[in-house]
Amino acid sequence: MIIKFLHDHSRILLLPFIGIILFGIFYTLSALYYPGGSWHQPEQPGFSIFHNYLCDLLDENAINGELNTGRFFARISLGVLCISLMHLWMMLPALFKGRRINMVVMVVSGISALGVTLFLTSGTHDLIVRIAGVLGTIALVSCYIELWRSGYIMLFFFGLFCLLIFGMNYYIYETGTYRTQLPVIQKITFILILGWMMLLNKKLYQKVREYKRNTMS
């Protein structure tokens, strides 16, 4: 039983929180060390919140042609984030009631999406984004179904909003419509999705504490 395991090893519940915080720290360091250049302004100095994509920090060379000295921090942050969120996705079934095939789909697709995302530095960016996007969408929809069934209505609607914004990112990326605004929209989307996942983790933590109180009474 997953919730009993989490009760006995409650420190595991901290991994997603720690991973997201470390991601923010390392990505900030990466941005500070980024030499410069964006697809909108190739000669700009440093990293621009308004013009650079997060993936720009992962490349070996900056867009201005210089060696990207911030890539090590960016790659560390990506690895830490994906691995910590894999733990969250493995623990999520403990948040819901019963055992359904949908939960298996949720866990497998979620972990697979994060595993594929780790290969963003392989030089096949567009392919990785599309594969991870499809797997991630399956994982999110499966999670929304369980949230609705279990009565987590606010998390359900917040998650749907995140999916809507995620879809807007993908539409802009594929069509080029409003492409100049995409770097900002991408960062807002990332913050919203990570915020939603932290709320999922918080709810999971609360459920484990409730389970602990019930077993002790």
Q: Is 124 helix (H, G, I), strand (E, B) or coil?
A: coil
Radius of gyration for the chain, computed over Cα atoms and rounded to the nearest angstrom: 19
Nearest to 193 by CA among 157, 154, 156, 163: 163
Residue given tokens 């090590």 in the structure block: 72
Q: Is 45 helix (H, G, I), strand (E, B) or coil?
A: strand
pLDDT per residue over 136-179, tens digit each? Answer: 999 999 999 999 999 999 999 999 999 999 889 888 888 878 78
In this prediction the pTM is 0.88
Express as a percent the part of the chain with pLDDT over 90. 62
The whole-number pLDDT of residue 216 equals: 64
Is a pLDDT exceeding 70 seen at residue 217? no
As a whole number, mean pLDDT of residues 182-190 equals: 91
The whole-number pLDDT of residue 4 equals: 61
Lowest average pLDDT, out of 115-119, 146-150, 187-191, 212-216, goes to 212-216
d(CA 78, CA 217) in angstroms, rounded, equals 42
Query: Cβ–Cβ contacts within 10 Å for residue 188, how many?
Result: 11
Confidence of residue 7 (pLDDT cuts 50, 70, 90): low
Q: Mean pLDDT for the chain?
A: 88
As a whole number, mean pLDDT of residues 126-144 equals: 92
Confidence of residue 18 (pLDDT cuts 50, 70, 90): very high
H helical segments located in the chain: 2-8, 15-33, 71-91, 101-117, 125-149, 153-175, 182-216
Which domain does 96 fall in, by range?
A: 2-216
The whole-number pLDDT of residue 166 equals: 87
Beta bridge partners of 181: none
Question: What residues contact residue 107 under an 8 Å CB cut-off, 6+ apart?
Answer: 89, 90, 92, 93
Residue given tokens 């879809």 in the structure block: 167
How many separate domains does the chain show? 1
Is a pLDDT exceeding 80 seen at residue 103? yes
Q: How far is CA 159 from the centre of its chain?
A: 13
Query: Cβ–Cβ contacts within 10 Å for residue 57, how many?
Result: 24
The whole-number pLDDT of residue 200 equals: 94
The whole-number pLDDT of residue 2 equals: 66
As a whole number, mean pLDDT of residues 28-50 equals: 91
